[in-house]
Structure 1
Amino acid sequence: MLRRLYDWTLSLSAKPSAPYALAAVSFAESSFFPVPPDVMLVPMMLARPDRAWFYAAICTVASVVGGLLGYLIGAVLYESLGTWLFQLYGLTEGAESFRHSYAEYGHWIILLKGLTPIPYKLVTITSGFAEYNLFWFVVLSILTRGARFFAVAVLMSRFGPSIKGIIDRHFNLVAAGAVIVIVGGFVAFRYLF
């Protein structure tokens, strides 16, 4: 099933709707969707390395805009929707500790967590709930999400054919590793904060 999704994503990159689909996933991932945009971004960059920078820009902008929705969920809807999302992921206890650490480390939390496998939606919702400064939230989100997606663009631009060969030969191992990283991000958030 994952192999078909990978092949489908590679073929999607040739379609005019590909950037819109990538933007939608990037937007959703920053506010409520559990799957990171990398599952689309990497195959699309492998299929079209000439558009890697364009795809990274789309992910950055859509992720920051989606982050604003996550911030709004935390600021206005935390007691209903925000709590439900955190409960869905089993992270309610970690959210409270994470929220309290904003008083002292807000800038660093946003910068560091935006680069890690810890789901960014947890950062965006908690930022709103903790009433973190919106201006700094946007600036730091642009920096951290941009760094994350453009780092992928650099890797795909320089090593794309080699990476594609590794993925093609060892797809099941790579897919398992991706799942471990995604699940590990949720687990890290739950137990570290």
Structure 2
Amino acid sequence: MKLFGPLYERALAWAWHPKAPALLGGLSFAEAIVFPVMPEVMLAPMCLSQPRRGFWFATISLLCGLAGAVMGYLLGHFAYELVKPMLAALGWLDRIDAQVVQLREITAQSPWKAFWLLVLAGFTPIPLKIFTWASGIVGVPFLPFMASMAIGRGKRLYLVALAIRLGGERAEKALHRWIEPIGWAVLVLLLGLVGWLLLRGHGA
């Protein structure tokens, strides 16, 4: 945790800064491109300090995250070869390449299958930047890409705001402790639902 621990603590400190909304927007934008800390780390204590503005904070994070997703998509589409050495140095190249292979196969079948994959990706602890870069490299159609980013990331952010609004400090502490198990549990449920819908559509 020598890298992520200090970044995590820094993001928590930013949450109490007078310019916290702007810092949250910057973190959300950067996280979709390159930064390794999820914006929920800032969002949760901000919602705790001002519960009535929680959904507004989540909206700021979502809009800035979508702007970052567009930037990551464009970089993946137009500048992938140029930044390969940087991605390799960060240890992301293999993960991006693996995601590219999967996305390319799925997109060839149907752009909206790629949409559902990206919706699910937006709720997992897997860094969003992996999917934004991979989507640009593959050339996932832009409308399904943006829709999936809005739904996938939006439901996470608004769930955090809602949990803090309803549960207060206890919810904030529990969220930090259980965010990954909760994320994976919801992912399994969503995968089951999507699988059922696909099977039902195929059977019809």
**Fold similarity call, TM over 0.5:** yes
> Shift in Å at residue 144 of structure 1?
1.5
> Runs of 5+ in structure 2 lacking a partner?
185-204
Matched residue, 1:188: none
Residue 143 and residue 165 in structure 1: after superposition, are their counterparts in 2 closer, same or farther (change >3 A)?
Answer: closer
Residue 115 and residue 159 in structure 1: after superposition, are their counterparts in 2 closer, same or farther (change >3 A)?
Answer: same
TM-score with structure 2 setting the length: 0.73
Residue 31 and residue 82 in structure 1: after superposition, are their counterparts in 2 closer, same or farther (change >3 A)?
Answer: farther
Do 2:84 and 2:93's aligned partners in 1 also have CA atoms closer than 8 Å? Answer: no
Do 1:98 and 1:126's aligned partners in 2 also have CA atoms closer than 8 Å? Answer: no
**1:31-180 alignment runs, 5 A limit:** 31-81=33-83, 84-85=86-87, 88-92=90-94, 93-103=97-107, 104=109, 105-164=113-172, 174=177
- Identity over the aligned pairs, expressed in percent? 29
> Runs of 5+ in structure 1 lacking a partner?
186-193
Tell me the distance in 2 between the aligned counterparts of 1:61 and 1:137: 15
Tell me the distance in 2 between the aligned counterparts of 1:117 and 1:40: 16
Tell me the distance in 2 between the aligned counterparts of 1:166 and 1:112: 23
Q: How many residues align?
A: 171
> Shift in Å at residue 87 of structure 1?
5.1
Which amino acid is 1:98 matched to? Q
SS at structure 1 position matched to 2:48:
helix
Matched residue, 1:190: none
> Shift in Å at residue 164 of structure 1?
4.5
Higher relative contact order (CA 8 A, sep 6+): 1
1:40-86 Cα deviation digits (max 9, x unpaired): 11111122212110110011101111000000011001112256325
> Shift in Å at residue 31 of structure 1?
1.0
RMSD: 2.8
Residue 111 and residue 165 in structure 1: after superposition, are their counterparts in 2 closer, same or farther (change >3 A)?
Answer: closer
